A and B are shown apart, each in its own frame.
Chain A
Amino acid sequence: MEPKDELLQAWEAYAHRGRFRPAPEITDEGLVLGAGTFLARVGQDERGRQRLILDDEQRILALLSTAYERPVTPHIVTKLRRAAELWNGGEKALAHIHLSHARLPPCNPMDEALRLFVADELIETCVAPTELMKAQGFDPAPLEDLDTPLRKAHFNPAQPRWPAGNGRASGEWLGGASVTPAGWKDFIARLAIEAARRAAREAARRAKDYFAKPKDEAAPELNPVEGQVAEPESTPPELPEAGQAQSPPKPSDFVGQDFGKLGVGVDKPELNISEVSSHAIDAMANRDGSLADVESTIADPLLVLQQRNNRYYYLSDRAAVVLSRRGEVIITYPASEFDPKVKEILDYVHQGGKK
């Protein structure tokens, strides 16, 4: 099999493994971008505490430069360092605000994410980050100026490896005669084109299968995160009888209820803060309220409404937060800025849905 085909196979398997992240996000495992490529890993310090460790900043810059096809300013590293400090200090939302300040362009699956994956594979197989920069015609000097020592990228167990015992050493695809350092840029570009072709063929196959199904066959269930507004249910959810022990209100109590312009009740989506928009950062700076309120509202809302344009409105007694389906904070405002309509909805929610 051609080295290109082997790498593409690995990419296809890898890209379908989990959630795609168009913007960098810090998870319990590390700083992730695209189709699960780790820019940095979470490890433990000497006291056994979980720490996001940026121990190879040259690698990060080379990965990002390859992904975005242009040299990425070392200033990004400063933002990432600060985000790591905040994350390690327990300030998760603030860490993501600093990540958003890095202003990385969106990472698209067939472009930046694929190049990011390939760059990671290249570095994993002993290509130095500076060499990767040079091969693409980028000045490696900014990497050399970083005050962290160059070290070989560490093994990433989450990524696919060539199986042991298959007769090929890890990285052989790179060492093959068909891929030389001078050809890396072209190699990555060819991979991107081939991956796009394969994805297009796969999409066409799925579409053909879908339309070939009999009309009365149940339509596939839509992923709520991909998002269509849920249809209001014909009957309101059942409520406990008076005198029965009542649990605190939760979003699932109001699924399908129409709250007018604010949206339709849905169960709490599986979303985490991936980024905070510039608009929201500016608004937060000029309003009362705290990041803790934003975080707790997203973690433990009383009500979640799906709004038009794939947005989710989280409401608690402390704040309202609107998230995109990608987990970006679009807007947030504290309880002191709730209007009478929102206060009325909160009363309704606290009364278990009774007007």
Chain B
Amino acid sequence: MKQDERTQRVRALLLRNWDPLDVSDNPHLSNEYDRYIPGILRLLDSHCSIEQMERHLARMETEEMRLELIPEETARAARAVITGWADESR
């Protein structure tokens, strides 16, 4: 898979499954989470656990975005991102 395609897929996964800022309905903001894609790709490439992904997403939410964490939502998003990536990579 080409790098550009990988980036597009992670972008779509994040908007569909994570979207902590609730911006996925706005096409102008489809690049809202692009700054997090490289870090998430590194984790996916290293075959991280769901817990590792959850910690990473939680850090982005609390430290980068200053959101209050909703742990169950972050856990659900982490699971969906990892399983979604695995499904698409088959």
The answer to whether A277 touches B64, judged by C-beta atoms less than 8 angstroms apart, is yes
The answer to whether B32 touches A330, judged by C-beta atoms less than 8 angstroms apart, is no
Q: Which chain B residues (26-80) contact chain A, with CB distance < 8 Å? A: 26-29, 32, 35, 63-68, 70
Q: How far is the CA of A342 from the CA of B65 in the complex (A)?
A: 22
The answer to whether B68 touches A324, judged by C-beta atoms less than 8 angstroms apart, is yes
Contact of B29 among A278, A282, A330, A337 (CB under 8 A): A337
Q: Does A279 interact with chain B (Cβ within 8 Å)?
A: yes
Interface size class, chain A? 20 to 34
- Contact of A261 with B64 at beta-carbon distance under 8 Å, contacts A282-B35, A333-B29 already known: no
A283 shortest CB reach to chain B, Å: 7
Q: Which chain A residues (273-305) contact chain B, with CB distance < 8 Å? A: 275, 277-280, 282-283
The answer to whether A277 touches B65, judged by C-beta atoms less than 8 angstroms apart, is yes
Contact of A330 among B21, B27, B63 (CB under 8 A): B21
Chain A residues near B32: list those with CB within 8 A: 283, 331
Chain B residues near A330: list those with CB within 8 A: 21, 65-67
The answer to whether B26 touches A339, judged by C-beta atoms less than 8 angstroms apart, is yes
Chain A 168-180 against B: per-residue CB contact (8 Å), 1 yes, 0 no?
Answer: 0000000000000
Chain A residues near B70: list those with CB within 8 A: 309
The answer to whether B65 touches A339, judged by C-beta atoms less than 8 angstroms apart, is no
Chain A residues near B26: list those with CB within 8 A: 337-339, 341-342
The answer to whether A339 touches B28, judged by C-beta atoms less than 8 angstroms apart, is yes
Q: Does A307 interact with chain B (Cβ within 8 Å)?
A: yes
Interface centre among A277, A329, A338 (most CB of B within 10 A): A277
The answer to whether B28 touches A331, judged by C-beta atoms less than 8 angstroms apart, is no
- Contact of A279 with B22 at beta-carbon distance under 8 Å, contacts A333-B29, A337-B28, A339-B27 already known: no
Contact of A322 among B21, B28, B63, B64 (CB under 8 A): B21
Residue of A nearest to B69 (CB): A309
* Chain A residues with a Cβ under 8 A of chain B: 261-262, 275, 277-280, 282-283, 307-311, 322, 324, 326, 328-331, 333, 336-339, 341-342
**14 A-B Cβ contacts within 8 A?**
A261-B25, A277-B64, A277-B66, A278-B63, A279-B64, A282-B35, A283-B32, A307-B22, A308-B22, A324-B67, A324-B68, A328-B66, A330-B21, A336-B28
